[in-house]
Amino acid sequence: MRSCGALVTGLAFAVASGSAAQAPTFTRADTLRGSNTPERAWWDAAFYDLHVRVNPADSSIVGRNTITYRILRPAREMQIDLQQPLVVDSIVQDGAELSVRREGNVLFVRLLSVQRVGARKSVSVYYRGKPTVALRAPWDGGFVWARDSLGNDWIATANQGLGASVWWPNKDIYSDEPDSQRVAITVPDPIVNVSNGRLRGTRRNGDGTTTYEWFVTSPINNYNVAVNAGRYAHFSDVLQGEKGRLTLDYWPLEYNLDTARKQFQQTKPVLRCFETWFGPYPWYADGFKLVETPHLGMEHQSAIAYGNHYLNGYRGRDRSETGRGLEWDFIIVHEAAHEWWGNNVTMSDAADMWIHESFADYAEGLYTECQQGKRAGAEYIIGKRAGISNDRPIVGLYGLNYEGSGDMYNKGGNILHTIRQLVNDDGRWRRVLRGINSTFARQAVSGKQIEEYMSRNTRLDLSKVFDQYLRTTMVPVLEYRIEGSTLSYRWANVVPGFDMPVKVTLSPGTFRFIQPIESWLTSPIRLERPEDFRVDPNFYVLSRDILTPAPDSTAGASASR
């Protein structure tokens, strides 16, 4: 999702934390946006047929979306989301114009035709206006009206969090994706529009504009549907992947063509690595694309927004501070990971956004491992602990479109890295990651479903691990003392019943598992000097020698800022 996980902690988060310090307050608008209301629950989106004309001259759009849906339950009123200040011209079903009751960003449409359960029907929403302008895309959301360095129009949309209804009418909830979608975008010549899926046709309209008709054959998150319009060049490549021939299409600005040809060579090894760990790329039919955008990036399905300035790292910086992250382009790696985590397996509620971001963050470490070796991958993930704030839980609030802490990135990656240590079997770990992608392919799921799948398939009861790390801000502390050849240990700062095993040095030079609980246990230990005792730094925990209350006796796995 937000490509930028990184910055979310800095930017968007600064906004959220002000209100998060006190209890956040929610309104009916939050419930209408974030929950499966009765006016949403009765219909299932089957196809969005979206047509939008984009006018950079006055930053306006005019368009229509014909929504084809399956009727699950009888109903007379339909909720369609369309954010202000966009206005509706008309809503039409079966040739009749329907009346609409507007409540803020929501349209409650009064249906005239009988909605027969099991049937499919369509309704067309005609609309226009000047959509919200994104000033800090991709962190705020809306339309980006930019110019390239030659002064050509360069337009993009980014609306994760804020919602796709900022520029087109739809059921703006994560849990309902259409089975397929047309995205037909009209832009003034000579700029070219690149959206999701494959280009089915271009039509010159004879009025100085051209319509680019893109089509996505797979279910797609509404926030992934995007306009990207500019003076693009185009080049292609092919990856022989797990499921055969995968087309790779690249759309850099014309004047960045040579630079892009070089930088985008990184794509193939990234996709190969992720296919190994996560299973086949999910969208062979729709292809893989990178499209240069004026904003940093976003995981727009089969048309990833790329704005990392052809630099390695995150805008040229390594977010792990280990140097490992300077060997690859953050936006290519992080956003490509979202094709599995977020686009293929989608959260059903924003509260569970860790399904997208924790796994995408973890994928950065896995790519580092594919490229530079297992130790380097671990170093990268451990290095990112410095970015953990433990300000509030990773899981947000349900039914309100309310995300949890930005810790869903750095901490989330470290939770998964810790679980991998518990599994202690890379073959099984890989089968679990691939299994999530095949079991929940093209589905919207809850965090609980992922947690239960992981417990079942790692053959470990991870419930307390998830409770601790996802739903509290406490970092487990291994309290210990060494007296002669006896190690005493217990968990502190943990949820009741927390019993996660952890590896420590019971003898010089090797890590072995112990199984601490909240009360003291003992184990034989063979160390020449008690100060040689270590906790395996791959575990995201703290440790404290209670006989030596030094100011900082944390193990290498410290969570210090």
**Residues engaged in binding Zn ion (CB under 5 A):** 1, 3, 5, 357, 360
Least distance (Å) between residue 415 CB and Zn ion: 16
**Nearer to Zn ion among residue 352 and residue 357 (C-beta):** 357
HSE value, Cβ hemisphere, 13 Å, CA-based, for 38: 4
* Region class of 391: left (phi > 0), else alpha (psi between -120 and 50), else beta: alpha
**Nearer to Zn ion among residue 299 and residue 369 (C-beta):** 299
Backbone angles phi, psi at 491, to 5 degrees: -90, 135
Least distance (Å) between residue 533 CB and Zn ion: 37
Question: In whole angstroms, how far apart are CA 258 and each of 1, 270, 459?
Answer: 28, 20, 49
**Nearer to Zn ion among residue 232 and residue 314 (C-beta):** 314
Neighbours of 130 (CB within 10 A): 14
**Nearer to Zn ion among residue 1 and residue 164 (C-beta):** 1
**Nearer to Zn ion among residue 34 and residue 138 (C-beta):** 138
Question: In whole angstroms, how far apart are CA 240 and each of 247, 275, 336?
Answer: 9, 11, 17
Least distance (Å) between residue 58 CB and Zn ion: 33
Least distance (Å) between residue 6 CB and Zn ion: 9
Least distance (Å) between residue 206 CB and Zn ion: 41
**Nearer to Zn ion among residue 161 and residue 178 (C-beta):** 161
Least distance (Å) between residue 182 CB and Zn ion: 26
Residue from 366, 369, 381, 456 nearest 415 by CA: 381
CB 248 within 8 A of CB 236: yes
CB 380 within 8 A of CB 364: yes
Q: What length is written for the chain?
A: 561
Residue 357: its H or E element:
helix 354-372
Least distance (Å) between residue 335 CB and Zn ion: 7
DSSP state of 76: S
The token pair at 474 is 């406490």
Least distance (Å) between residue 319 CB and Zn ion: 12
Torsion of CA 339, 343, 347, 353, to 10 degrees: 50
Residue from 416, 404, 398 nearest 358 by CA: 416
Least distance (Å) between residue 265 CB and Zn ion: 23
**Nearer to Zn ion among residue 287 and residue 406 (C-beta):** 406
End-to-end CA distance of the chain: 25
**Nearer to Zn ion among residue 82 and residue 388 (C-beta):** 388
Could you give the CA distance from residue 25 to residue 249 in angstroms, rounded to a whole number? 44
Beta strands in 303-352 (DSSP E): 304-306, 345-347
Q: Tell me the three state secondary structure of residue 433.
A: helix
The identity of residue 174, as a single letter, is Y
**Nearer to Zn ion among residue 81 and residue 403 (C-beta):** 403
Least distance (Å) between residue 338 CB and Zn ion: 6
Could you give the CA distance from residue 83 to residue 168 in angstroms, rounded to a whole number? 8
**Nearer to Zn ion among residue 180 and residue 344 (C-beta):** 344
